Amino acid sequence: MQNTQGTLDYAFFIDPSRCIGCEACVNACAECETHRGHTMIHLEFLDREHTIATVPTVCMHCHRPTCAEVCPADAIKQTEDGIVQSSLKPRCIACSNCVLACPFGVPKMKSDLEQMMKCDMCYDRTSAGKRPMCATVCPSQALAYVPMDTILRMRPEKPTNVFFFGNEHVTTKVFMMAPREVDAINVDITDFMWESQS
């Protein structure tokens, strides 16, 4: 776990195993002042035929955001607090590079607005000391915005913010809850293959 924060600072945690697929987050997201009427959350029903499992995805706010690095118009900015903002409307050329490059599949191209928009962790709220809308309303607390200390005390899982996508190593501001014995999350099958380990 790469934790750059104090344990009493508020942080954002995602625990898909708690998600009940109710879409309170999806609906609440559209109530945020910075993008009212547009929801930025992805709520996936993994495979409804086979399971009730659902997964909510907000922007992970990468420490080195791939979306910003691939943006040819330099339209995606990271503020000092580590929040990766939606594209700047005057700069965004709606090319969708960021949409394709994001390892988590977060940015949304709003073709009606010709602008990429994404979760900015409710910048209007968090920058004013309020909690993000989605994590405030989430009735299962699959999305939680609480001090690190609270999560470590209350949850059996462990927060991690280190991800491997093949050779791509990503660390993020947002934490994913993982089993206690896991330090980083691998999402490439080759990491689990005997050939790769030998």
Partner 1 sequence: MARPPIDEAALVTRYGPHPNYEPPGGWQSEAQDPAQKLVPTHCCFCGQQCGIQLKVRNNQVIGFEPWEEFPFNRGMLCPKGVKRYMQSTHPDRLLAPLLRDASGFRPVPWSEALSFTATRLRQIQERHGRDAVAVFGGASLTTEKAYLLGKFSRVALGTRHIDYNGRLCMVSAGTAYKLVFGVDRAPNPWSDIPLADVMIIAGSNTAECSPITTDYVWRFHDAGGKLIVIDPRMTPITRNADLYLPVRPGTDLALFLAMMHVILRDGLENRSFIERHTTGFEAVAESAKSWEPATAGRITGVPPEAIVKAAHWFAKAERGFALHARGLEHHSKGVENVLGLINLCLATGNIGREGAGCVMITGQGNGQGGREHGQKCDQLPGQRSISDPEARRHVAKVWGIEPNEIPQAGYSAMEIIDAIHRGEIKGLLSICFNPIVSLPDANFTQEALEKLEFLGVIDFFMSETAHYADVVLAGSLQEEEEGVTCNVEGRVIHIRQAVTPPGNALPDSQIVCDLARELGRGHFFSFRSPREIFNELREASRGGIADYYGITYEKIDKQMGVFWPCPSEDHPGTPRLFEGGRTFHPDGKAHFQVTEYRESGDPVNDAYPIYLTTGRVVSHYLSGTQTRRIGALVDQYPEPRVEIHPRLAAAHDIQDKDWVIVTTRRSEMRVQAAVVRTIRPDTIFIAYHWPGSKSVNRLTHRTLDPRSKIPEYKVSACRIRKER
The residues binding partner 1 (CB under 8 A) are 17-18, 20-24, 26-28, 30-31, 33, 36-37, 48-54, 131, 133, 136-141, 154-156
Sign, CA dihedral 191-105-53-156, equals positive
Phi-psi group of 129: left, alpha or beta (phi > 0 → left; psi -120 to 50 → alpha; rest → beta):
left
Q: Distance between CA atoms of 97 and 108, rounded to whole angstroms?
A: 11
Rounded least distance, CB 191 to partner 1, Å: 26
In the complex with partner 1, the residue whose CB is nearer, 48 or 169, is 48
Compute the Cα dihedral for 179, 184, 189, 194 and give only its sign.
negative
Residue 144 dihedral angles phi and psi, to the nearest 5°: -135, 140
CB of 136 to partner 1, least distance (A): 5
Residue number, 49 or 181, with CB nearest to partner 1: 49
> From the CB of 57, what's the least distance to partner 1, in Å?
17
Nearer to partner 1, 92 or 122 (CB): 122
Cβ distance to partner 1 smaller for residue 78 or 136: 136
